[in-house]
Homo-oligomer: A and B are copies of this chain.
């Protein structure tokens, strides 16, 4: 859809603050009513546009037999994606759009964090040497994701190496429990 493309362009050109429905309509060569027909508000439109280019989020972690290495690498890839200028900007704008509207927030986490949770959790569950409950696994994965989200939102550095080490450390805690 030309509307989503125009929204993406304007978002990365001028930021979420400056984005007006009128500007999107003009850029997309579209009537305002067409936008309002398909999206109830700006937050939903922004979320759709940013999620359309789903270059966030890595592929599912491999299974080499070493959970620590597999999820460490997976976390590293995720950090590289979220830590890049474009990835960080996207994550921040998604967060802002999500705080505008609870429904949007649910859809966003269903589409972004949900798959991440599932990927990591599946790999964790397949590791027979980690005697963790489902709740403990979920906590650990949320800690890994939360760490990165927090670092990005706080404008603190998020490196591939740092995320990898952090993920391994959290998993070690799971093992030691």
Q: A residues near B, CB below 8 A?
A: 16-17, 92-93, 95-96, 98-100, 102, 105-106, 109, 113, 135-136, 139-140, 142-151, 153-156, 162, 165-166, 168-177
Among B96, B105, B150, B170, the residue within 8 A (CB) of A155 is B105
| Residues in B whose Cβ lies below 8 Å from that of A166 | 139-140, 142-143
Min C-beta distance of A101 to chain B, whole Å: 8
Copies of this chain, complex-wide, total: 2
| Residues in B whose Cβ lies below 8 Å from that of A142 | 147, 150-151, 156, 166
Binding site of A, secondary structure by majority: helix, strand, loop or mixed?
A: helix
Min C-beta distance of A79 to chain B, whole Å: 12
Residue of B nearest to A112 (CB): B154
Inter-chain pairs besides A135-B162, A147-B147, 19 sampled, C-beta below 8 Å: A92-B99, A96-B100, A105-B155, A106-B155, A109-B155, A113-B150, A139-B147, A142-B151, A142-B166, A143-B170, A146-B147, A146-B148, A146-B150, A146-B151, A169-B174, A169-B177, A172-B173, A173-B173, A173-B174
